[in-house]
Amino acid sequence: MSVVRLSRRHVTQSLGVVLATFALPSPSVFGQVPANVPFSLRNNRRLEGWIRVEADETVTVFTGKAELGQGILTALAQIAAEELDIGFDKIRMVSADTSRGPDEQYTFGSQSVEQSGGAIRAAGAEARGILLAAAARRFGVRAEELQVRSGTIIAADGRRATFWALAKQSAGLLKGDIALATAPKKPGDYAIVGKSVNRIDLPGKLTGAPSYVQDMRLPGMVFARVVRPPRYGARLLAFDEAAVRALPGVVAVVSDGNFLAVAAGREEQAIGARDVLAASAHWSDDAVELPDMARLRTELKKLRAETIVVGSAGQSEPAPGQAKRVGAEYSRAYLSHAAIGPSCAVAWLRDGRMTVWSHTQGAFPLRGDLAKVLGMPNGEVDVVHVPGAGCYGHNGADDVALDAALVARAVPGAPVKLQWMRDDEFAWAPFGPGMAMKVEAALGSDGKIVDWSYDVWSNSHAMRPGQPGGVNLLAAWDLKTPFVKSPAPHIPQPFGDGDRNAVPSYELPRKEIRNHLLLDAPVRNGSFRTLGAHGNIFAIESFMDELAEAAGSDPLAFRLAHLGDPRAQAVLQAAADKAGWVPGKKGDGQRGRGLAFCRYKSIGMYAAAVVDVEVDRNSGVIRVPRVVMAADLGLVVNPDGAKNQLEGAIVQAVSLTLKEQVAFDRRQITSRDWSAYPVLTFTEVPSIDIVLMQRSDPSLGAGEGSLPPTSAALANAFAHATGRRLRELPMTPERVKAALS
Amino acid sequence: MYRIVVNGDPHVVDAAPATPLLYVLRNDLGLNGPKFGCGLGQCGACAASVGGKLTRTCSIALRDVGDDPIITLEGLGTLQRPHPLQKAFLEEQAAQCGYCSNGMIMAAKALLDRNPKPSDEEIKDALADQLCRCGTHNRIVSAVRKVAMEPVR
């Protein structure tokens, strides 16, 4: 198979680390050896599947994880350089690619450093051990007597051999399975891991080098656009194909059931043809009845649900009788990913093979669903990850990949670039589901919680492609012979789905937590950063403040009294200290301060937030001047990169707490541009102070966990400032004014 | 046929008069800096300098460009010789996905051209119509401030 290289290697050479992303490689097969080994090694045992010592004195590192704009490839390169003892600038990263990389399923759940990092750490240690043993044999010395400096092995008498020379001389040296024969370094010996390094992909992105799938240009490429129905459920009755085909540049009009798309030689021609196609299309009046978004909390509970108890304790004892009982209900709106660039893919059908370049979070799972819809064997479809605009979960990336592939099938031999328009993205990408939460608790005479009852209602947040029983791709449901959606998977605690973080980290002698997974899904849902943790922590941490008030206790002291884990107590105390928390201080009607804690997924990073607010009582606008966050991430690979992640999720949390809600009437989504779905802007962004706890425990993931406690602390700050509590998100000026009137 | 001057070089473009400048820059000239974000002039990802003015290239037609010289992100600096703003964005790691960076840098350039020593408030005001979704706003403000603090630009 010929290799087309559109790599920007030549332009990025001066930067050292190279991202080899735009390439068409030859297929390879990886061993399938089940074993009791690090998670990502279980199905990918071959050493050269992770690390290849190249003839050009570089090392290629393969990961199944994708760069989602969070700097993961940089952190993984640090881990590889550390274990191999080579210069950081010798590493070349290849990310998720079904044709040549390991299958690590999805890049999600803040697990990449843990999973891929764990595998690369083991592979790097193994490769270094094998190379040291080879050098020891050659020099006739023991491996322990050798040193490694920047990829050169040095004997006590000064003899030297480089990794590259050793690998070249013995072709099979690094081709075996990873035996886990060499232990990785101890954190105390780290020289590269733990240091802030600059992101390897940013120089190109900041100077206009081709970096995104949107920037791909292949020979003979055509541009395509889709025309989606006006609402869920509408069927395509008729359209004027001849009129569209007659437009300048149009090379194909693709229709299959309710799927409609057009391809043209130039991008603006495709966009113009989309407008004509949309205007000529007649759709049935069918609609899916949508909930009343003004009454989401009650509307959600009307939907059919499957109820599971996801946490309980002390239920064999009766509820305490002589206790003070308190209850409250909360909700959050449906949320949009709202990346700055709409989803995009390039698809190319040639010589019977379909290659799709995509900013998907799961190249392998997407490949499987694409193959099903296209009626092709998995082996004839490849998905290569190329970055897109910001990824905060399951956005339109997978859907647009199928859209592009369907158009590519209509123009065989021609690569097709298909980007969604802004309204496609806002109306059709999966949303973070709306959620309703209800808490009741009882306080004993000592002011501690003696009983806890919790319910959460939401649709599944886990509707990605690659799950059994169907296909989770938008266009697949619209074809003349449609595919069914995969049923929602059951994700057990502590990960959870809508019930992620529904089980509090607090020590509660008697508790029952119920997840009501909604089975009817009038609005299309998917995974948005933290899944249900955002709604659950908003409810739990709001309610902890309500309980503290009922107990006459300070919010910080009340939480500390219910936490047994010293790491949890430490982040809370660190955030409070940094912010200058004053116990018992009252809000003044306008200004206030709130606190919240979250251990993400109950097993991930610890985070505590202190948020300050200023409330304009006339306009109802809440301003957030400052957020303080203390976070315990375990071992931090790239401190500045981790801080960047924490900051980003804090800003996003403020944005969705104050502003964000997908809007719809009873028939269709109405928030289809930035004026209808506003996000936080420069003048509204708080100053942020981050305290990173110094730990050498295993890495816990930094991508999401600062979001939920920020949202909850903001709600607590509003209540602290005004004495009124908002229990529905977002906290819009209308709701603020209603609460204060 | 239209003749436009981009980053100092003249180009002859064969595209319809109503073609938004963005697609000409990206597809005819092969530039990657200006990005498609909304096509509505709302987000600023497509920004470039046209005739010295910060312009949303998704919302200006090729026929309306005339003789106004166009400067894109690529015209500011290169990987080897980055513009002070590009260098400052790197030093502050003022990006996550980087998709909005083009507009941020172009808007900051327009600000510094008219006000070389802006306050933080002025920087935020100047960037208020440029959307970032990853939440890197504070780092972007720091990067612009860093350039503004430099004695000679």
List the single range of A21-35, A287-301, A315-329, A705-719 with lowest mean pLDDT: A21-35
pLDDT band for position A33 (cuts 50, 70, 90): very low
State whether residue B122 is helix, strand or coil: helix
* Calpha distance A604→A703 (Å, rounded): 11
Q: Supply the pLDDT for residue A26.
A: 33
Q: Which of B19, B42, B79 sits opposite A11 (nearest CB)?
A: B79
Percent of residues in chain A assigned helix, strand, coil, to nearest 5: 30, 20, 45
* Calpha distance B60→A607 (Å, rounded): 46
Q: Does A70 touch chain B (CB under 8 A)?
A: yes
Q: Does A702 touch chain B (CB under 8 A)?
A: no
pLDDT band for position A107 (cuts 50, 70, 90): confident
Q: Supply the pLDDT for residue A100.
A: 87
The single-letter DSSP state of residue B58 is: G
Calculate helix-pair angle for A639-658, B137-149, nearest 10 degrees. Answer: 120
Q: Supply the pLDDT for residue A17.
A: 42
Residue corresponding to tokens 């003004």 = A294
Sheet holding A91-94, edge to edge: A18-19, A91-94, A59-62, A51-53
User: Does the pLDDT value for residue A197 go beyond 50?
Assistant: yes
* Calpha distance A336→B44 (Å, rounded): 19
Q: Supply the pLDDT for residue A36.
A: 52
**Mean per-residue pLDDT, A217-231:** 97
Q: Does A497 touch chain B (CB under 8 A)?
A: no
The single-letter DSSP state of residue B59 is: G
Contacts of A12 in chain B (CB under 8 A): 79
CA A138 to chain centroid: 47
Contacts of B17 in chain A (CB under 8 A): none
User: Does the pLDDT value for residue A28 go beyond 60?
Assistant: no
**Mean per-residue pLDDT, A327-331:** 98
Contacts of A640 in chain B (CB under 8 A): 93
Nearest residue to A650 (alpha-carbon basis) of A671, A669, A631: A631
The single-letter DSSP state of residue A315 is: T
Q: DSSP labels for A161-213? A: EEHHHHHHH-TTTT-SB----SPPPPGGG-SSTTS----SSHHHHHHT-S-SG
Q: Which of A14, A271, A688 sits opposite B79 (nearest CB)?
A: A14
How does pLDDT run across A45-66, given as a tens digit for each residue? 999 999 999 999 999 999 999 9
Interface touch A649/B90, C-beta < 8 Å: no
How does pLDDT run across A69-86, given as a tens digit for each residue? 888 999 999 999 999 999
Q: Which two tokens stand for residue A343?
A: 């989803």
Which stretches of chain B drop beneath a pLDDT of 50?
153
pLDDT band for position A680 (cuts 50, 70, 90): very high
Give the residue from B72, B96, B139 with the most A CB atoms within 10 Å of its CB, the best one to mutate.
B96
Closest approach of chain B CAs to the CA of A579, in angstroms? 19
Which value, to the nearest 10 degrees, does the dihedral of the CA atoms of residues B66, B67, B69, B72 take? Answer: 30
User: Chain B: residue nearest A196 by CA?
Assistant: B93
**Mean per-residue pLDDT, A359-375:** 97
Q: Supply the pLDDT for residue A299.
A: 96
Q: Which of A211, A652, A673 sits opposite B98 (nearest CB)?
A: A211
User: Does the pLDDT value for residue A359 go beyond 80?
Assistant: yes
Interface touch B32/A208, C-beta < 8 Å: yes
Contacts of B89 in chain A (CB under 8 A): 202, 206
Beta bridge partners of B13: B2
CA B16 to chain centroid: 24
Q: Which of B23, B125, B135 sits opposite A650 (nearest CB)?
A: B135
Q: Supply the pLDDT for residue A14.
A: 32
**Mean per-residue pLDDT, A400-429:** 98
Q: Supply the pLDDT for residue A27.
A: 32
Q: Which two tokens stand for residue A518?
A: 């909604």
User: Does the pLDDT value for residue A25 go beyond 80?
Assistant: no
Interface touch B77/A207, C-beta < 8 Å: yes
State whether residue A490 is helix, strand or coil: coil
User: Does the pLDDT value for residue A395 go beyond 70?
Assistant: yes
Interface touch A70/B96, C-beta < 8 Å: yes
- CA-to-CA separations, A54 to A33, A51, A133, in angstroms, rounded: 25, 9, 19
List Cβ<8 Å contacts ≥24 apart for B65-71.
B65/B2, B65/B4, B65/B21, B67/B5, B69/B5, B69/B6, B69/B8, B70/B4, B70/B5, B70/B6, B70/B7, B70/B21, B70/B25, B71/B6, B71/B7
Burial class of A149 by CB neighbour count within 10 A (0 to 12, 13 to 18, 19+): exposed
- Pairing assessment for the beta strands A222-226 and A416-419 based on DSSP bridges: parallel
Interface touch A674/B42, C-beta < 8 Å: yes
The whole-model pTM stands at 0.94
How does pLDDT run across A467-516, given as a tens digit for each residue? 999 999 999 999 999 999 999 999 999 999 999 999 999 999 999 999 99
User: Chain B: residue nearest A689 by CA?
Assistant: B138
Q: Which two tokens stand for residue A730?
A: 């977002």
Nearest residue to A564 (alpha-carbon basis) of A599, A596, A590: A599
**Considering chain A, what percentage of its residues have pLDDT values greater than 70?**
95
Q: Does A582 touch chain B (CB under 8 A)?
A: no
Give the residue from A340, A343, A690, A704 with the most B CB atoms within 10 Å of its CB, the best one to mutate.
A340
Contacts of A674 in chain B (CB under 8 A): 38, 40, 42-43, 131
| Average confidence score pLDDT of chain A | 93
Q: Which of B26, B99, B137 sits opposite A340 (nearest CB)?
A: B99
H helical segments located in A626-706: 639-658
Interface touch B98/A69, C-beta < 8 Å: yes
pLDDT band for position A412 (cuts 50, 70, 90): very high
Q: Does A227 touch chain B (CB under 8 A)?
A: no
Q: Which of B30, B132, B138 sits opposite A687 (nearest CB)?
A: B138
Burial class of A560 by CB neighbour count within 10 A (0 to 12, 13 to 18, 19+): middle
